[in-house]
Amino acid sequence: MSTTTTRDLASTSPAGTEQTRPRGAWRGNRTFNFWLFTSPFLIGLIVFVYIPIGWSVYLSFFEARFTVTPSDFVGLDNYREILTNGGFTGSLVTFTVFAAFIVPTTWALSLGLALLVNRLRFMRAFYRSVFFLPTACSYVAASLIWKMSLFSGVRFGLANTVLGWFGVADIAWLANPDPPWYWLVIVTARLWLQSGFYMILFLAALQNIPQELYEAAAIDGAERGRQTFRHITLPQLRATSTAVILLLLVAAYQAFDEFFNLLAKTTWGRPPLVELYYTALGQDQNYGKGSAGAVVLTALICFVTLFQGKFMGFGRGDGSK
């Protein structure tokens, strides 16, 4: 009886193994599962990002007006024209200064908000949500609110109403570049929209700092405040600060929505993307020249971010000097 049972199991087990092996092999194949889940995103990245970038670089060496199909090879003529265009080079210089101002301002405001929220003992989630909520707002909607309600330039605008209480005459915030009041409108809108997001990043980093460091500093006699912030908090936030500054630099050079909606079709205060927008989609629709400007702008962003990352030690380990 036992011999028969053993023989039956021996004869049936290979067949059962062969039937279940393919299913187990597919289910346990990590490489297959990886490509199964990442291939849709990879295909989208190639189709909607890498191919357009490659086509833009290719198009920058050709004459292409009113069509994205290149006609005549012009070499570096498009680059020569865009770099001698006063509007484009002026926008690069202007927004380099703009980035040098808006990046540290947003960094300091975001870090300050994170420190305040992190110190709260009650309603922390409420204030965290309140400061983060503007991030969900569209740049277009925020620009229209700033333009039509806060800085409308008429007597009934909120900014002019408050200034009128102190005897200040109405200011045309967006009417002319002298004095450049429009920068106040744009900077306040961008600070309101961006600070909450980077506050969340700093808040997460603050909560990951070991409390033993502050306790050891208190035992050594360090004052809780300026000294602990300088010697403990800031060094522990180095990686987060580097990432935040990199994101802010890229966002500053990619500014478009608020400038396009606030300044309309003015010839002053244009960021590089708005200037390229009118170059590629204006009256001439010079896609070759616009593509050359896009390549120049991308190279500038890469250079600035790599320099900043090298300066702040992005990617270095904790033990490196």
The CATH number fitting domain 85-311, selected from 1.10.3720.10, 3.40.50.720, 3.40.50.170, 2.60.40.2380? 1.10.3720.10
Q: What is the 3-state secondary structure (H, E, C) of the chain?
A: CHHHHHHHHHHHHHHHHHHHHHHHHHHHCHHHHHHHHHHHHHHHHHHHHHHHHHHHHHHCCEECECCCCCCEECCCHHHHHHHCCHHHHHHHHHHHHHHHHHHHHHHHHHHHHHHHHHHCCCCHHHHHHHHHHHHHCCHHHHHHHHHHHHCCCCCCCHHHHHHHHCCCCCCCCCCCCCCCCHHHHHHHHHHHHHHHHHHHHHHHHHHCCCHHHHHHHHHCCCCCCHHHHHHHHHHHCHHHHHHHHHHHHHHHHCCCHHHHHHCCCCCCCCCHHHHHHHHHHCCCCEHHHHHHHHHHHHHHHHHHHHHHHHHCCCCCCCCCC
The pLDDT value recorded for residue 316 is 57
42, burial (CB in 10 Å: exposed 0-12, middle 13-18, buried 19+): exposed
* Position 9 pLDDT exceeds 80: no
The pLDDT value recorded for residue 17 is 47
**pLDDT tier for residue 31 given thresholds of 50, 70 and 90:** confident
User: Could you state, in order of their start, the residue ranges of all structural domains in the chain?
Assistant: 85-311
* Residues 64-109 pLDDT 10s: 888 777 878 888 999 999 988 888 888 888 888 888 889 999 999 9
With the CA atoms of 270, 274, 275 and 281 taken in that order, what torsion angle do they form, in degrees rounded to the nearest 10?
Answer: -150
**pLDDT tier for residue 314 given thresholds of 50, 70 and 90:** low
186, burial (CB in 10 Å: exposed 0-12, middle 13-18, buried 19+): buried
* Position 181 pLDDT exceeds 80: yes
19-35 mean pLDDT: 65
Provide the angle, in degrees to the nearest 10, between the axes of the packed helices 86-119 and 182-207.
40
* Residues 106-141 pLDDT 10s: 999 999 999 999 888 888 888 888 899 998 888 889
The pLDDT value recorded for residue 193 is 92
* Position 12 pLDDT exceeds 80: no
| Nearest to 252, CA basis, from 198, 288, 203, 290 | 198
**Measured between alpha carbons, how far is 300 from 133 in angstroms, rounded to an integer?**
32
Contacts of 229 (CB under 8 A, 6+ apart): none
Average pLDDT, the chain: 82
* Residues 244-266 pLDDT 10s: 998 998 888 888 888 888 887 77
Maximum C-alpha span of the chain: 109
* Residues 275-289 pLDDT 10s: 888 888 877 788 888
Q: What are phi and psi of 73, to 5 degrees?
A: -75, 125
